[in-house]
């Protein structure tokens, strides 16, 4: 073998070693680093930029997160309050701090929507869905990477001609089996004596809108849909059947009606990765119930004593690692004074009696969801962007 061939072979071996060493760094080290560090490492080389910007790396990074699994404990919340957005961190081990506002970080973001108002519709894999009050668009936003993309509705949510009334309820989620994020809009339309339900779907993978078949019965869903295992769930009302549980399978795009017992003041939550039904009566009398379900079966029930004074404005957001859970909504004292009605608190289910502790107070209504940061792009899946 000539010296030239020998040098060429040594060069190939060295290049392969470097290549495998880079793979090892990316797969075993970078996937475990905070997102801020990864964003800085994108400037190392064009190869690293391409790799660290890919959906495969984003997925590997999310999987390595101890809070990525749906049943994982909640330690971070995304809060919408008076057109501002915040990240709130909570640690069960921190029993000393009395000022939890120190754990609240305001997000500096300009959505470019002028005077239009945005509503927090859902959060999935670190991507936040915001819908406009004008119903002219929705926004997918990644707070961790500070990237966002506006998707126009192209008139799909405009009031049909001669309609007397239109109400719109939305949902956002990820279907793992088809690797696609989907936005679902449900229009409940009243035209004279005729009532109908119109369904519009937007696929980020296909980057387009389409209509799908809908119920023959007129349904009015309540609140944005909740995502559990590739399905969105709504509490809905039908004049013929009363209150119903409605599910939408994001993968096969099929609606189902689930028959369970409903009370007028029941509402849905996601607790420990499971769909849950809660009943906080507005009368403040009697114990409340939290039912954790595998629809339509209730697999576990938690009795919440009336002394906690939870009411029907409340919203529940998952368990912490010590089985405490977050609650937001209205609370009253013994005089039923609602001066501090908008709060974020935490209930300790392990103490006897159960205890409720206020963490934050707000002057305006707040919407709060579980948040797990990620590197996923808010842009259409088929057209990734470096912008």
pLDDT the model gives residue 384: 43
Q: What's the pLDDT score for residue 214?
A: 66
Residue 311: what pLDDT? 63
Average pLDDT for consecutive 10-residue bins of the chain (387 residues)? 52 44 69 86 84 87 83 91 91 71 90 89 95 92 95 82 74 93 88 79 93 70 87 86 87 87 81 84 58 77 74 78 84 49 83 85 85 93 49
Q: How far apart are CA 32 and CA 65, in angstroms?
A: 7
386, burial (CB in 10 Å: exposed 0-12, middle 13-18, buried 19+)? exposed
Determine the pLDDT at residue 79.
94
SS3 379: coil
Contact between 385 and 379 (Cβ < 8 Å): yes
- Note the pLDDT of residue 4: 52
Edge to edge, the sheet with strand 180-191 lists 165-175, 180-191, 194-203, 208-212
Question: What pLDDT is recorded for position 139?
Answer: 96
Q: What is the pLDDT of residue 296?
A: 72
Residue 369: the pLDDT is 92
Place of tokens 């379900």: 293
Q: How far apart are CA 262 and CA 310, in angstroms?
A: 19
CATH of domain 65-370: 2.120.10.30
What tokens were used for 294? 């595998």
Nearest to 48 by CA among 37, 59, 63: 37
Burial of residue 22 (CB within 10 Å: 0-12, 13-18, 19+) is middle
The pLDDT assigned to 155 comes to 82
Would you list the domain boundaries of the chain?
3-62, 65-370
In whole angstroms, give the CA distance from residue 29 to residue 349. 37
SS3 assignment, position 232 = strand
Tokens of 383: 């057209």
**226 and 169 in contact (C-beta within 8 Å)?**
no
Supply the DSSP string of 239-279, one letter for each residue.
TTTEEEEEEEETTTTEEEEE-----TTEEEEEETTEEEEEE
State yes or no: cis peptide before 148, omega within 30 of 0.
no
SS3 for 174? strand
CA 203 to chain centre: 17
pLDDT of residue 10: 44
């Amino acid at each position: 073998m000539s010296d030239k061939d020998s040098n060429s072979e040594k060069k190939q071996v060295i290049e392969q070693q470097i290549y495998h060493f880079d793979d090892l760094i990316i797969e075993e080290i970078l996937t475990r680093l905070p997102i801020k560090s990864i964003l800085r490492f994108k400037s190392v080389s064009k190869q690293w930029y391409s790799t660290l910007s890919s959906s495969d790396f984003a997925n590997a990074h999310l999987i390595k997160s101890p809070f990525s699994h749906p049943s994982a404990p909640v330690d971070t919340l995304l809060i919408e309050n008076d057109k501002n957005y915040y990240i709130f961190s909570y640690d069960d081990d921190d029993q000393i701090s009395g000022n939890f506002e120190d754990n609240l970080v305001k997000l500096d973001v300009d959505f470019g929507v002028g005077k239009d108002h945005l509503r927090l519709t859902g959060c999935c894999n670190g991507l936040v869905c915001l819908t406009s009050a004008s119903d002219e668009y929705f926004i997918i936003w990644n707070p961790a990477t500070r990237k966002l993309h506006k998707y126009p509705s192209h008139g799909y949510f405009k009031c049909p001609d001669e309609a007397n009334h239109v109400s719109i309820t939305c949902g956002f989620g990820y279907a793992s089996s088809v690797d696609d994020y989907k936005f679902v809009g449900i229009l409940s339309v009243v035209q004279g004596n005729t009532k109908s339900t119109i369904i519009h779907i937007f696929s980020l993978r296909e980057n387009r809108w389409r209509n799908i078949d809908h119920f023959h019965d007129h349904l009015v869903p309540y609140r944005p849909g909740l995502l559990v295992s590739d399905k969105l769930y709504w509490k809905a009302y039908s004049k013929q059947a009363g209150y119903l549980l409605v599910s939408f399978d994001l993968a096969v795009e099929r609606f189902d009606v689930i028959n369970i017992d409903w009370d007028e003041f029941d509402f849905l939550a996601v607790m420990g990765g499971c769909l849950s039904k809660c009943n906080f009566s507005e009368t403040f009398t009697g114990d409340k119930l939290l039912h954790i379900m595998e629809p339509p079966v209730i697999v576990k029930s938690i009795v919440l004593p009336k002394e906690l004074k939870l009411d029907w404005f409340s919203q529940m957001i998952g368990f912490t690692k010590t089985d405490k859970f977050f609650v937001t909504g209205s609370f009253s004292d013994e005089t039923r004074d609602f001066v501090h009605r908008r709060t974020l608190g935490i209930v300790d289910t392990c103490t006897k009696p159960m205890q409720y502790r206020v963490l934050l107070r707000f002057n305006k209504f707040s919407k709060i969801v579980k948040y797990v940061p990620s590197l996923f792009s808010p842009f259409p899946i088929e057209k990734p962007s470096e912008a």
